[in-house]
């Protein structure tokens, strides 16, 4: 039950991240000026930017509710302490994220809170993806056999895996800084090149060493997705430079939105590949 709920929560969180990006791209963050209600009601007229902001709030509420249900579910199931702590931590993250979302509205989108809010979402997403992975039947079977990836996390593999994952998160942070302040864009561009190289090297080494499809598939997807993300970044940068041209209106919304969302997915995939490459925690994790 925990595994299924985690999968649903991960999908719902991914949709929420996309909606959050859409709110920023359309400038709808203050379309609903009050919080936690929307114009003093639960269902305001869905016009203009209210459509994006209120939909974002509704999906966020569903994510919070499902996270609470997960806490209750794991309490009834016989799960190990690490899983219980992961569930509780995820719930704490989503509560904090909701509060930050409210504060961004009440304080008229201050950059520090907005950036914190933009960075915490992908972290929560990663925690849910990790939860879905470690509660899966396959993960438990592999853990009991001693892991599928002892060869993949030897020598320099752990270093490049951690470096790549950290650089992806740094990119998310820099991207949020660019989105909410317009500053440090060249740091973001330079970081993108480093992250691209690190992920490419990591993926190529993993594919070369892995005989397990459970590791190779997400690693291959990670390699393909970083290429997509790179070109989405180029598109977002180009259309930002063309800001004001009427024919680029939709592209100026979609490119940065997809760029931000795919960035969060990249981070989650990094976590997933690490978990599968070194299934080192044993059956007690479950």
- What ranges do the domains of the chain cover? 1-135, 148-286
* pLDDT tens sequence across 93-142: 999 999 999 999 999 999 999 999 999 999 999 999 999 999 988 876 66
- 21 Cβ partners below 8 Å, 6+ apart? 256, 257, 258, 260, 261
In a 10 Å sphere around its CB, with 0-12 CB exposed, 13-18 middle and 19+ buried, how is residue 255 labelled? Answer: buried
Quick count: other Cβ atoms within 10 Å of Cβ 145? 9
> Can you state the angle between helices 213-241 and 249-277, rounded to 10 degrees?
160
Question: What residue has token string 């994510």?
Answer: 63
pTM score, whole prediction: 0.90
Compute the distance between CA of residue 143 and CA of residue 77 in angstroms, rounded to an integer: 19
Any idea which residue has 């939909």 for tokens?
55
- pLDDT, one tens digit per residue, over 84-100 is 999 999 999 999 999 99
Q: Which helix (H) or strand (E) holds 62?
A: helix 50-76
Query: Hunting for tokens 């059956």 — which residue is that?
Result: 283
């Amino acid at each position: 039950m925990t595994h299924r709920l985690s999968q649903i929560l991960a999908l719902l969180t991914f949709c929420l991240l996309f909606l959050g990006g859409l709110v920023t791209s359309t400038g709808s963050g203050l379309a609903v000026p009050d919080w936690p209600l929307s114009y003093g009601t639960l269902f305001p007229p869905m016009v203009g930017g209210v459509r994006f902001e209120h939909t974002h709030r509704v999906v966020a509420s569903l994510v919070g509710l499902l996270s609470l249900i997960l806490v209750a579910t794991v309490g009834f199931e016989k799960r190990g302490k690490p899983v219980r702590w992961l569930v509780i931590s995820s719930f704490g993250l989503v509560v904090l994220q909701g509060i930050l979302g409210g504060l961004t509205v009440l304080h008229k989108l201050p950059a520090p809170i907005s950036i914190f809010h933009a960075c915490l979402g992908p972290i929560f997403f990663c925690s849910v993806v990790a939860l879905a992975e470690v509660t899966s039947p396959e993960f438990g079977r592999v853990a009991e056999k001693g892991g599928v990836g002892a060869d993949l996390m030897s020598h320099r593999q752990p270093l490049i895996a951690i470096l790549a994952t950290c650089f992806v998160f740094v990119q998310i942070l820099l991207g949020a800084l660019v989105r909410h302040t317009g500053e440090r864009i060249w740091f973001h561009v330079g970081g993108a090149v480093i992250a691209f190289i690190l992920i490419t090297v990591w993926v190529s080494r993993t594919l070369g060493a892995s005989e397990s499809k459970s590791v190779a598939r997400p690693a291959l997807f990670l390699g393909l997705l970083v290429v997509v993300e790179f070109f989405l970044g180029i598109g977002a940068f180009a259309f930002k430079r063309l800001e004001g041209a009427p024919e680029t209106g939709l592209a100026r919304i979609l490119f940065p939105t997809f760029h931000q969302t795919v960035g969060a997915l990249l981070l989650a995939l990094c976590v997933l590949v690490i978990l599968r490459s070194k299934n080192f925690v044993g059956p007690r994790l479950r």
